[in-house]
């Protein structure tokens, strides 16, 4: 049963993912013979909401789907994942967001997204107080408009709710949004783009996290198999090594990390304990044990 007072609220994207397994990802102009494909619930917003719910948080999401079969699939999966979808709207005449992801033999992947209904989320819905009831943490990503993220972050701060931004995919952040973020989570590529620091290993990730902590109260840089680095503007930084696992697929691992971390923080866990829990659960996901 979905609870009425969540610890985590998510404003973000919902995508119908088509997952393709292939020996390698195609180069420009190349056609690759794939092995298999399957549909999957996705979108960074949806994935992070479900991950937070699975980590024990009560979760509510604001988003949009189209009036199509994809939209029905996305709603069903949100509910089955324990997320309250009362603030997810169906937009008549609009197609749901979707993506195609190609995973290679190493477990790495590349993807293309089509935003669809995700770009039609009405920021006016953020003024509905029932959405914010009991929210300790707001989670945002960059698969919806910057204007919506700005409005959501400002609405959260007005209600005493902390703001987490997973700045993925990378885009330049407005000063309005940047100034409203309490916790930034980025991967190596996004950290390099935001901080201007090449991230090739965990030492580089620590430097990038420290650089970003001058702009954000807490900066978390995930570096895949090298681990995760954390820096606080007014505190000590730390890093954790990656869990030793066999890689099955990295697709969605970052979303599991974000959802687990924010669920733990919303429940009152100390930062290092929350990062450790997120690191562990993301590793299990990569190993196919999630």
Residues noted as catalytic: 255
Q: Radius of gyration (Cα) for the chain, nearest Å?
A: 18
CB atoms within 10 A of CB 137: 26
- Asked if 52 contacts 139 with a C-beta cutoff of 8 angstroms, the reply is yes
Nearest of 117, 127, 104, 139 to residue 264 by alpha carbon: 139
- Which ranges of the chain does DSSP label H, i.e. alpha helix? 44-54, 69-80, 129-132, 146-158, 175-178, 188-195, 202-212, 253-266, 271-286
- Asked if 7 contacts 57 with a C-beta cutoff of 8 angstroms, the reply is yes
Nearest of 263, 259, 257 to residue 280 by alpha carbon: 257
Phi/psi region, residue 253 (left: phi>0; alpha: psi -120 to 50; beta: rest), is: alpha
The three state secondary structure string of 230-270 is EEECCCCCEEECCCCCCCCCCCCHHHHHHHHHHHHHHCCCC
Nearest of 79, 83, 89, 90 to residue 61 by alpha carbon: 83
Residue with the two structure tokens 């993506």: 99
């Amino acid at each position: 049963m979905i609870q009425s007072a969540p610890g985590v609220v998510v404003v973000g994207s919902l995508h119908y993912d088509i997952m393709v397994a292939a020996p390698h990802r195609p180069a420009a102009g190349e056609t690759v013979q794939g092995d298999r494909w399957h549909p999957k619930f996705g979108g960074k917003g949806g994935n992070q909401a479900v991950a937070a719910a699975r980590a024990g948080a009560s979760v509510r999401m604001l988003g949009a789907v189209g009036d199509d079969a994809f939209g029905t699939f996305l709603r069903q999966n949100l509910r089955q994942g324990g997320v309250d979808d009362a603030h997810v709207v169906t937009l008549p005449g609009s197609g749901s967001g979707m993506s195609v992801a190609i995973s290679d033999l190493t477990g790495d992947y590349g993807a293309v997204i089509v935003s669809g209904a995700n770009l039609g989320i009405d920021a006016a819905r953020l003024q509905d107080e029932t959405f914010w009831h009991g929210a300790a943490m707001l989670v945002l990503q960059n698969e919806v408009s910057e204007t919506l993220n700005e409005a959501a972050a400002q609405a959260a701060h007005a209600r005493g709710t902390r703001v987490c931004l997973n700045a993925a995919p990378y885009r330049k952040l407005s000063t309005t949004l940047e100034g409203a973020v309490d916790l930034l989570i980025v991967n190596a590529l996004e950290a390099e783009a935001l901080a201007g620091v090449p991230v090739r290993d965990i030492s580089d990730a620590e430097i990038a996290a420290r650089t970003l902590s001058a702009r954000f109260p807490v900066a978390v840089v995930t570096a895949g198999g090298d681990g995760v680095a954390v820096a606080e503007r007014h505190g000590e930084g730390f890093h954790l090594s990656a869990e030793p696992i066999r890689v099955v697929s990295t697709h969605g691992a970052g979303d599991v990390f974000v959802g687990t971390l924010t669920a733990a923080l919303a429940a009152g866990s100390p930062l290092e304990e929350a990062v450790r829990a997120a690191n562990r659960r993301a590793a299990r996901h990569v190993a196919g044990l999630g």
